[in-house]
Structure 1
């Protein structure tokens, strides 16, 4: 379960990602003034310490890029090369935002998703009770457990990536056919 806050973020997630994304070697397209959020999904951290969210984003009508993020209340040991930036969260304070591929908490959650662990349900606390937020996309794991294999997250969706092993696919509004999000051979 992901407990979400209606809090101001400075800078916002999209502002951080918009500044970082065009410098990645796997980025394709043209950076524009506005980065649009297409959809997103979350995983649970069993310890409840790390926020795990994957954004599907695009500049204009360019390709959709998948950006897995982790949010931490303190720097990740050895994670300097994966740091996207920091933001101030109106409720939680300073958050360190990482490219999740460098975060062991994300990698463990991804392995679980391949095996069929569902995405995190999202809730807001409103007047002392929890209200569920409808997901903006659905993910499905193939049910296979990747043992000893290396997982690959598809950074630019729709590039014809395929998998014969464990797979994670997703659908969202306007994309009813499953798209490969990650795989392990």
Structure 2
């Protein structure tokens, strides 16, 4: 396997947004990402982005990103053009990836770009490998695994960094539970889609 096919070389990313769905007019207001190579964070990307309209008091309180901060931020399109270059050629990871992928597709489509990256979801994989965790939210899993953190979530770069720590912990779980040590990204995608009852059979045949 090449380095780019391995699960320990990925870009982990997270959006903060004005709401739940671009189909309802919501936009991204912050992107954060970390590049992991051979299991180590090697680079970071973070930027606020101006969606072109005011965020609600709820979103400002939830994310800590207010309209004054966004008033001087770059437009979404400018940030996303740089982010598209940052992620080019890399596999992607996000926690609750379907949410972040929707915004990635929408924001890139707005500037005429189409993401061709493969993506995997740390939340779905955690449900298979950490079945006894009380919850599979990012904050709960960070606490469950005793991953170092400062307890302040919902800013994009911090959440991306915490998801990166979780992703590497999931790779450790594979090594400890199933003695799978050289994990390709395609296997992680397969784990995310495998019913819990069939997981052991999948991994013992790996």
What is the TM-score of this pair, normalised by structure 1? Answer: 0.33
Larger radius of gyration: 2
- Please identify which structure carries the higher strand content: 1
